[in-house]
């Protein structure tokens, strides 16, 4: 990537007090009705994709949202960008309630919230040139930047590390990583204040993932754009997000600043996720020490009928009767930092050091590992 | 894509043939002028020496000669060559009009159903099912007189343009469903693609999304289907005229020539008459269908050859 990039000066966004909430989400819920029955189709249940989540993204901040596949991360992203209508809860942007705003009402905000998509092969229209794709958002919002749209598109292409001469090419002439850069350029075209990035690198080659994450990081730092960065493991967001929320089956089970989540996690599920992250022990306390190892058994339960009480209890090694009866509230557990909230009745020790015995909840996996060690 | 098409020899040849037909149809009056005749002259009256008492051309092969290249029609003695090129002109004009109407309806209803979904999709889907369930051959024949009678009272002479309009309307009403259904399916698949969501995130209106994001992506199936639809409409139109519910004398028409050829007088005395409209139509329909195949292959190289 070129060093002397032409970047517009960081806008006042970065200068804003970091504490001001840009996006505030409260009790956000999305249930997809499940139709069934014969001969008359009726609603027989609901997929509780997102079930009452609260989160706040501050101006210029990068917020990570992590969870296993199917836990409702994409749905959350789509609710926030208003691609889907929430079942309940509120979304406010800069103090303005946009929960049920219509397309026309959203118009002034549209340019400020943009999205980067997971699949670079489906997120670019195969019949439009790169120039058309990137200038599309400007056209829709009737924005003509100084020097014309084409000049701006070329600038954007340069910012995301592509050759401005590729203006007239079609998406199929690019690799996955390059396509994702085009997607980033499109998201930047309107100079947004918040970008929802839905697993922007998980479809890419590992070697390219780092490049794209670096690009996003650069964009975030230099343009002062707030990010809601969605990922399915903690490794990707580690270097990117100042704050991280962990989601499980439609609920946020732990949220906190990066330091707290990566070195002092309290929720058993966060422990499990962390133990799956390779080379996470960069922090001093764990240097040399053994990392804990947790393998989770089984699948995520169906979001149509989630377990009562704590939704993680079917896979939790600390589960007790109370967990089934009572849903743990998302609160600050004593000893935790300010803003580090955990939803668990019996939290783990705030450490990621190895324990006496590995927790392997999957018998098949255990047998496999014994076999390997026995050799 | 264009390069792929050019490499396909069958495609290029059939495209060429099809183009010739369109050129003939378009230039029919000019050709007739250069040839010095028109399809309306009743040579049985003008040149009675060429016909016997029954009205059959005296010369062999239906009166083919240097003067009348394709011979003369038994009965009224129209010139077959001009009649044929004018007939092709009538047929193609009607079929093109039907195809255009069908394409527009197909896009409107199919893309709308696919994009909007829900109740709209459901109702359009049921209308399509209903119309497809019709025995269309029978219905074509049955409805032609009905549609015609909407315009003129049965006692009056039916003007030709009314018949033409009726032919177009009937084929259009019963012909748009398959295309609409295909476009609905394509749109349905496109709607789930993330680039549609990207446009929505930027605040694009549904109209803009259909126009800028979806339509360019349905051009391929649209073009392929149209190349199958047009020859199909040509044969349907010919069939209707053959059965006597389409274009009638003295207006020249491709299909109506078949009907003429099958009358007792012509059938028994002048088999050659059938030859020219028959062969030309076979060539046209086959060439057009081959062209359709080639267009599809050019757009979609994955569908194996
Ligand atoms: N349009 C929809 N209709 C019905 N159910 C849906 C719909 N979209 C998502 N779901 C369901 O909601 C749940 C959450 O889906 P979501 O796409 O948000 O998961 P995710 O966390 O993004 O997963 P992934 O990591 O695989 O992208 C899933 O169980 C999914 O089946
Ligand atoms: S509440 Fe109970 S089941 Fe849930 S994570 Fe905590 S200990 Fe495990
Ligand atoms: Mg997802």
User: Cα(A366)–Cα(A360) distance, rounded to whole angstroms?
Assistant: 6
Q: How far is CA B251 from CA A65, B31, B85, B144, B161, in A?
A: 74, 17, 12, 17, 10
Task: Identify the nearest ligand to the CA of A65 by its number.
Answer: 1
Q: Would residue A41 count as lying in a domain?
A: no
CB contact under 8 A, B217 and A118: no
**Higher pLDDT, residue B203 or A362:** B203
What is the helix (H) or strand (E) element at residue A56, kind and residue range? strand A42-58
Residue of B202, B207, B216, B218 to mutate, testing the A interface (most A Cβ within 10 Å of its Cβ): B202
CB contact under 8 A, B203 and A136: no
Q: Kindly list the residues from chain B whose CB atom is less than 8 angstroms away from the CB atom of residue A141.
A: 202-203
Taking residue A346's Cβ as centre, other Cβ atoms within 10 Å add up to: 14
A233 and A145 fall within a common domain: yes
**pLDDT above 80 for B153:** no
Q: Kindly list the residues from chain A whose CB atom is less than 8 angstroms away from the CB atom of residue B204.
A: 136, 140
| The two structure tokens encoding residue B65 | 């000669």
Q: Which atom of ligand 2 is nearest to the CA of A269?
A: 5
Place of tokens 């020496």: B49
Task: Say if CB B188 and CB B217 are below 8 A apart.
Answer: no
B32 and B47 fall within a common domain: no
ipTM: 0.81
Nearest C-alpha in B relative to A125: B195
pLDDT per residue as tens, chain A (375 positions): 444 444 444 444 444 445 578 999 999 999 998 877 666 777 778 899 999 999 999 998 999 999 988 899 999 999 999 999 999 999 999 988 999 888 888 888 888 999 999 999 999 999 999 999 999 999 999 888 888 899 999 999 999 999 999 999 999 989 999 999 999 999 999 999 999 999 999 888 888 888 999 999 999 988 999 999 999 888 888 888 999 999 999 999 999 999 899 988 999 999 888 887 665 444 444 444 566 777 776 777 888 888 888 999 888 888 888 999 889 999 888 888 888 999 999 988 877 776 655 565 555 555 655 655 555
Q: Kindly list the residues from chain A whose CB atom is less than 8 angstroms away from the CB atom of residue B219.
A: 127
Q: Is A130 in the pocket of ligand 1 (CB under 6 A)?
A: no
pLDDT of res. B210: 93
B55 and B189 fall within a common domain: no
Report the pLDDT averaged over residues B163-174: 90
Cα torsion A162, A163, A167, A169: sign: negative
| The two structure tokens encoding residue B61 | 């092969």
Q: Is A193 in the pocket of ligand 1 (CB under 6 A)?
A: no
For residue range B262-288, what is the model confidence (pLDDT) as tens digits?
887 777 777 788 888 889 999 999 999
Residues 6+ apart with CB under 8 A from B224: B292, B295, B296, B299
Q: Would residue A6 count as lying in a domain?
A: no
Place of tokens 């209707």: B240
Report the pLDDT averaged over residues B34-61: 81
Q: Would residue A272 count as lying in a domain?
A: yes
User: Cα(A66)–Cα(A258) distance, rounded to whole angstroms?
Assistant: 12
**pLDDT above 70 for B241:** yes
DSSP symbol at B48: G
CB contact under 8 A, B195 and A110: no
- Which range is least confidently modeled, A45-54, A56-65, B52-61, B76-85? B52-61
Q: Kindly list the residues from chain A whose CB atom is less than 8 angstroms away from the CB atom of residue B216.
A: 125, 127-128
- CA A106 to mean position of chain CA atoms: 23
Q: Kindly list the residues from chain B whose CB atom is less than 8 angstroms away from the CB atom of residue A85.
A: none
| The two structure tokens encoding residue B71 | 């011979």
Determine which residue's CA is closest to atom 4 belonging to ligand 1. A32
- In the Cβ-directed half-sphere of B114, how many Cα atoms lie within 13 Å? 25
A205 and A167 fall within a common domain: yes
Cα torsion A349, A352, A358, A360: sign: positive
| Number of structural domains chain B divides into | 2
For residue range B169-201, what is the model confidence (pLDDT) as tens digits?
989 998 999 999 999 999 999 998 999 999 999
User: Cα(A50)–Cα(A56) distance, rounded to whole angstroms?
Assistant: 16
Percentages (nearest 5) of helix, strand, coil residues in chain A: 35, 20, 45
A64 and A23 fall within a common domain: yes
User: Cα(B175)–Cα(A30) distance, rounded to whole angstroms?
Assistant: 42
Cα torsion A146, A147, A149, A152: sign: negative
Q: Would residue A40 count as lying in a domain?
A: no
- CA A193 to mean position of chain CA atoms: 16
Give me the residue from A81, A136, A183 closest to B199, CB to CB: A136
- Closest CA–CA distance from residue A44 to any residue of chain B (Å): 18
**The pairing of beta strand A113-116 with beta strand A294-295:** unpaired
A249 Cα–ligand 3 center, Å: 13
- Closest CA–CA distance from residue A114 to any residue of chain B (Å): 6
Determine which residue's CA is closest to atom 13 belonging to ligand 1. A49
Cis peptide before B250 (omega within 30 of 0): yes
Domain boundary among A213, A241, A269: A241
- Which range is least confidently modeled, A119-123, B1-5, B169-173, B234-238? B1-5
Task: Say if CB A103 and CB A140 are below 8 A apart.
Answer: no
DSSP A226-292: EEEEEESSHHHHHTT-SEEEEEETTEEEEEEEHHHHHHS--SHHHHHHHHTSTT-TTSGGGTTSPBP
Report the pLDDT averaged over residues B22-51: 86
Residues of chain B above pLDDT 90, percent: 40
pLDDT of res. B52: 81
pLDDT of res. A281: 46
User: Cα(B196)–Cα(B217) distance, rounded to whole angstroms?
Assistant: 12
**The pairing of beta strand A243-248 with beta strand A251-257:** antiparallel
A231 and A304 fall within a common domain: no
- The model's confidence at residue B63, banded by pLDDT at 50, 70 and 90, is confident
| The two structure tokens encoding residue A323 | 């967990």
| Number of structural domains chain A divides into | 2
Supply the mean pLDDT for chain B: 86
What is the pTM assigned to this prediction? 0.81
Q: Would residue A332 count as lying in a domain?
A: yes
A286 and A213 fall within a common domain: no
pLDDT of res. B150: 82
DSSP symbol at A315: G
Residues of chain B above pLDDT 70, percent: 98
A315 and A266 fall within a common domain: yes
B49 and B191 fall within a common domain: no
Report the pLDDT averaged over residues B78-103: 92
User: Cα(B77)–Cα(B48) distance, rounded to whole angstroms?
Assistant: 9
Q: Which domain holds residue A314?
A: 259-374
Q: Would residue B304 count as lying in a domain?
A: no
Q: How far is CA B181 from CA A330, B88, B168, B187, B231, in A?
A: 50, 30, 21, 10, 19
Q: Which domain holds residue B161?
A: 2-37+85-299
Task: Say if CB B253 and CB B259 are below 8 A apart.
Answer: no
A93 and A155 fall within a common domain: yes
A73 Cα–ligand 3 center, Å: 6
| The two structure tokens encoding residue B75 | 């009965």
């Amino acid at each position: 990537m070129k060093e002397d990039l032409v970047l517009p000066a960081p806008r006042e966004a970065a200068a804003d007090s970091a504490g001001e909430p840009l996006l505030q989400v409260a009790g956000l819920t999305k249930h997809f009705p499940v139709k069934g029955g014969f001969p008359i189709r009726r609603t027989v249940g609901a997929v509780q994709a997102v079930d009452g989540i609260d989160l706040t993204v501050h101006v210029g901040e990068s917020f990570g949202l992590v969870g296993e596949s199917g836990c409702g991360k994409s749905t959350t992203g789509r609710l926030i960008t208003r691609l889907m209508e929430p079942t309940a809860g509120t979304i406010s942007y800069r103090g303005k309630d946009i929960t049920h705003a219509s397309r026309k009402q959203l118009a002034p905000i549209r340019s400020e919230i943009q999205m980067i998509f997971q699949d670079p092969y489906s997120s670019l229209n195969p019949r439009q040139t790169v120039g058309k794709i990137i200038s599309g958002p400007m056209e829709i919002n009737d924005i003509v930047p100084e020097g014309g749209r084409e000049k701006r598109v070329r600038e954007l292409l340069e910012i995301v590390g592509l050759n401005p001469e590729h203006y007239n090419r079609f998406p199929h002439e690019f690799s996955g990583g390059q396509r994702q850069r085009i997607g980033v350029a499109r998201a930047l075209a309107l100079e947004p204040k918040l970008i929802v990035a839905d697993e922007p690198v998980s479809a890419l080659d590992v070697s390219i993932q780092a490049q794209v994450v670096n690009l996003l990081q650069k964009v975030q730092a230099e343009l002062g754009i707030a990010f809601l960065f969605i990922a399915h493991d903690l490794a990707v967001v580690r270097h990117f997000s100042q704050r991280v929320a962990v989601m499980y089956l439609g609920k946020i089970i732990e949220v906190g600043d990066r330091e707290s989540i990566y070195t002092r996690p309290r929720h058993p599920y966060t422990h499990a996720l962390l133990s799956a992250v390779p080379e996470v022990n960069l922090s001093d306390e764990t240097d040399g020490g053994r990392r804990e190892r947790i393998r989770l058994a089984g699948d995520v339960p169906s979001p149509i009928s989630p377990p009562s009480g704590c939704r993680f209890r079917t896979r939790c090694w600390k589960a007790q009767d109370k967990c089934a009866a009572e849903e743990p509230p998302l609160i600050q557990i004593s000893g935790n930092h300010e803003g580090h909230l955990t939803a668990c009745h019996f939290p783990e020790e705030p450490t990621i050091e190895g324990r006496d015995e590995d927790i392997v909840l999957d018998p098949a996996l255990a047998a496999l590992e014994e076999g390997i060690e026995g050799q | 894509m264009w390069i792929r098409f050019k490499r396909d020899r069958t495609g290029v040849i059939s495209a060429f043939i099809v183009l010739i037909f369109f050129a003939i149809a378009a230039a029919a009056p000019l050709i007739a002028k250069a040839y010095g005749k028109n399809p309306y002259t009743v040579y049985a009256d003008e040149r009675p020496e060429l016909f016997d008492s029954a009205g059959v051309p005296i010369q062999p092969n239906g009166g083919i000669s240097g003067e009348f290249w394709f011979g003369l029609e038994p009965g009224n003695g129209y010139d077959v060559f001009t009649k044929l090129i004018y007939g092709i002109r009538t047929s193609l004009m009607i079929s093109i009009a039907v195809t255009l109407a069908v394409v527009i309806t197909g896009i409107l209803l199919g893309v709308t159903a696919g994009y909007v979904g829900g109740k709209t999709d459901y109702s359009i889907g049921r209308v399509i099912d209903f119309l497809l369930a019709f025995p269309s051959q029978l219905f074509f024949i049955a409805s032609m007189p009905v549609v015609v009678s909407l315009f003129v009272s049965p006692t009056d002479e039916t003007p030709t343009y009314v018949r033409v309009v009726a032919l177009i309307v009937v084929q259009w009403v019963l012909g748009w469903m398959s295309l609409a259904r295909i476009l609905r399916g394509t749109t349905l698949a496109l709607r789930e693609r993330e680039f549609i969501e990207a446009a929505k995130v930027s605040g694009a209106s549904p109209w803009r999304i259909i126009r800028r994001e979806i339509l360019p992506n349905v051009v391929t199936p649209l073009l392929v289907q149209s190349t199958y639809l047009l020859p199909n409409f040509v044969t349907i139109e010919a069939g209707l005229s053959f059965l006597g519910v389409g274009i009638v004398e003295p207006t020249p028409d491709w299909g109506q020539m078949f009907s003429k050829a099958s009358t007792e007088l012509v059938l028994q005395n002048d088999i050659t008459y059938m030859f020219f409209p028959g062969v030309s139509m076979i060539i046209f329909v086959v060439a057009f269908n081959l062209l359709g195949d080639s267009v599809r292959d050019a757009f979609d190289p994955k569908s194996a050859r």
